[in-house]
Amino acid sequence: MTENEEMRDLEIRLSLDPWDVDAYIEKAMLLNDRGKQEEVSQCLETAEIITGGIEDDLERKTIQSTIYFVRSKLEQEDPQKYLANLGIVIQLRASEEHVGYAYELLGDHFLKREEFDLATEAYCAAFQTMPTAEVLYKWAASYYKNDDYLGTLIVLFQHKEMGATESRFPILRAYAEYKLGNIKNATEELGNARELGKLEADQEELFAYLLKEPQENQGTW
């Protein structure tokens, strides 16, 4: 379906049901792709007005939360507005999934800005409400990027059952172990990763290096 066909479909939906909040939200996203910001704002404002009249508290909060997710996406070039929109999603607490995803997006935002402490806090909060392997990896990696290698290992070992079949987890543990000077552990972790999936060229190089002279080359990579 082309964009024009999608827009026609949405217009038909709205003509049949002027209270179709989802249609307004979808229309706002299509209009944003076309750069029509004023019409985007009008659609989202209309969606908010309609949502305000919904009596069921959970349904109302869920739709409001979705609207602010959309706003955050549309306004992500403005850090203040982006953070404010995600903050509202968290305050609404429509669902654990919404709250967790909002915290994950906050973590991504802070990580890009190299605000590692804030990124770690956000990913930690995300994991408390949405404990997925992806969030766990981001949480541990944020410690690593902040040169907190012990923190990386603690997080990963506390939840070792997650991502047990993914090579990226033992790879991250291997690099953290190596940074701490634990050559034997680093070598074992890279070996584990190799069994789970193909290593990148630099990882294979490090693995071969550690196997060659594990005692003499400590800390020289």
37: confidence class by pLDDT, cuts 50, 70, 90:
confident
* pLDDT at 35 exceeding the cut of 90: no
Q: Extract the tokens encoding 142.
A: 């944020």
Query: What is d(CA 79, CA 73) in angstroms, rounded to the nearest whole number?
Result: 11
Kindly state whether residue 155 falls inside one of the protein's structural domains.
no
- Per the structure, the count of domains in the chain is 1
Kindly state whether residue 93 falls inside one of the protein's structural domains.
no
Kindly state whether residue 78 falls inside one of the protein's structural domains.
no
**Can you give the pLDDT at residue 221?**
46
Query: What is d(CA 75, CA 109) in angstroms, rounded to the nearest whole number?
Result: 13
Which of these, 91, 153, 79, lies nearest to 118 by C-alpha position?
79
For residue range 107-154, what is the model confidence (pLDDT) as tens digits?
A: 999 999 999 999 999 999 999 999 999 999 999 999 999 999 999 999
Which of these, 123, 93, 91, 98, lies nearest to 110 by C-alpha position?
123
Beta-carbon neighbour count of residue 7 at 10 Å? 16
For residue range 20-32, what is the model confidence (pLDDT) as tens digits?
A: 999 999 998 888 8
CATH number at residue 16: 1.25.40
Record the pTM: 0.86
Kindly state whether residue 19 falls inside one of the protein's structural domains.
yes
Domain assignment of residue 41, given as a range: 1-70
Kindly state whether residue 83 falls inside one of the protein's structural domains.
no
For residue range 158-197, what is the model confidence (pLDDT) as tens digits?
A: 999 998 899 999 999 999 999 999 999 999 999 999 999 8
Q: What is the percentage of the chain residues whose pLDDT exceeds 70?
A: 96
**DSSP structural state of residue 200:** P
Q: What is the percentage of the chain residues whose pLDDT exceeds 90?
A: 73
Kindly state whether residue 84 falls inside one of the protein's structural domains.
no
Kindly state whether residue 85 falls inside one of the protein's structural domains.
no
Beta-carbon neighbour count of residue 2 at 10 Å? 7
Kindly state whether residue 46 falls inside one of the protein's structural domains.
yes
